[in-house]
C-alpha cells in the first residue's frame, strides 16, 4: 500500500511542534525521538556543538489515512537555513 509522508524542518523547536501534533491527532510516535547526540560523530566533520546534542534529528508521527509527519531540527551550526512559509 502506498503512503505519503511530509518532512518538516524546524529551527530548534521540532520537539514542541511534534508534541502539539501528537496531542491534536491523538496518535503515538513511530519509535523514539532520535537526537543529534545519539549518533556517532562524522569523520572529517567538526564536533557537534553541545547546544545541539539534544535537538531532534528525526521524529515520525503517523496521523490520518496512512500519512506520516516527519521532522527534524535544522541547526545553523550544521549549515542549515530554515525558510519559514
pLDDT, one tens digit per residue, over 28-55 is 999 999 999 998 877 887 888 889 999 9
Residue written as grid cell 569523520 = 43
CA distances from 73 to 1, 23, 58 (A): 29, 20, 8
**Contact (CB, 8 A) for 78 and 61:** no
Q: Is the pLDDT of residue 62 over 90?
A: yes
Q: Is the pTM of this model over 0.85?
A: yes
Domains and CATH numbers, the chain: 5-38+51-76 (3.10.180.10)
Amino acid at each position: 500500500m502506498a503512503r505519503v509522508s511530509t518532512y518538516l524542518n524546524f529551527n530548534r523547536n521540532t520537539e514542541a511542534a511534534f508534541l502539539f501534533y501528537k496531542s491534536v491527532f491523538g496518535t503515538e510516535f513511530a519509535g523514539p525521538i532520535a537526537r543529534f547526540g545519539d549518533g556517532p560523530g562524522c569523520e572529517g566533520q567538526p564536533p557537534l556543538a553541545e547546544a545541539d546534542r539534544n535537538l531532534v534529528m528525526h521524529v515520525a508521527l503517523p496521523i490520518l489515512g496512512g500519512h506520516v509527519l516527519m521532522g527534524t531540527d535544522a541547526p545553523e551550526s550544521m549549515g542549515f537555513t530554515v525558510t519559514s512559509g
